[in-house]
Amino acid sequence: MVQVSVQSLGLDRASNTPVVILQEHDGERVLPIWIGPAEASAIAYEMAHMKFARPLTHDLLASVLASLGGALQKVIISRVEANTYFAEMIIRRNGEVISVDARPSDSIAVALRLRADIFAHEALLERSALEAPEPSMGEASLPGGASDTGLAAEELNEYLRKLAPEDFGRFTP
């Protein structure tokens, strides 16, 4: 397994789908995973250190986990089948280790909130390097002219603050 972290979020212009880019800690390889807009928003909010008066879904899951005495030890992006990625959330509670099947996007959103490590199997990074060219990310993917591949945390934070509730249906990080 290889430790990875969220390098960036973007939008694949070809499919108009958000993409989270994971990069290995001690190398240059990246693992792009196409995710849903709600999960992209949850990841973006945490990366921008935005907090809300009431917990959002991934905040709630993190809170429930902690309230039940569990600790998220790590997330493992384990495999891909028919272009669908799978992940496991490894939770420790009362000395017991529990593996929970989860979507990578949800796992990443929770891991960011709980400061848990994220890992990917070596084969996924190798496959990505051989088969998947960088997603076709474009400047037009973020409103206001912000770059989707090099968006600074301050810019993202400012963009998210300006969103009105009616914008959330079409928000794409």
Task: Give residue 155's pLDDT band: very low, low, confident or very high (50, 70, 90).
Answer: low
Domains (range + CATH), the chain:
2-144 (3.10.690.10)
Task: Give residue 132's pLDDT band: very low, low, confident or very high (50, 70, 90).
Answer: very low
Other beta carbons within 10 Å of 165? 6
The model's pLDDT over 116-127, given as tens digits with 9 standing for 90+, comes to 999 999 999 988
Name which of 36, 40, 11, 3 is nearest 140 in CA terms. Answer: 11
Question: Could you tell me which residues are beta bridge partners of residue 165?
Answer: none
pLDDT at 108 over 70: yes
The model's pLDDT over 21-59, given as tens digits with 9 standing for 90+, comes to 999 998 889 999 999 999 999 999 999 999 888 989 999
Q: Which two tokens stand for residue 49?
A: 């250190």
Q: Between 95 and 138, where is the model more confident? A: 95
Instruction: Provide the 8-state DSSP code for 135.
Output: P
Q: Are strands 117-120 and 70-81 parallel, antiparallel or unpaired?
A: parallel
Using an 8 Å Cβ cutoff, are 9 and 148 in contact?
yes
Whole-number Å distance between alpha carbons of 91 and 1: 17
pTM: predicted TM-score of the whole model, two decimal places = 0.75
Task: Give residue 138's pLDDT band: very low, low, confident or very high (50, 70, 90).
Answer: very low
CA distances in angstroms from 27 to 42, 104, 118, 159, listed in the order given: 26, 21, 15, 31
Task: Give the mean model confidence (pLDDT) for residues 165-171.
Answer: 38
Side-chain-side CA neighbours of 59 within 13 Å: the count stands at 12
Instruction: Provide the 8-state DSSP code for 162.
Output: T
pLDDT at 84 over 70: yes
Q: Is 47 strand, coil or helix?
A: helix
pLDDT at 96 over 50: yes
Helix (H) / strand (E) containing 82: none
Q: Between 4 and 8, where is the model more confident? A: 4
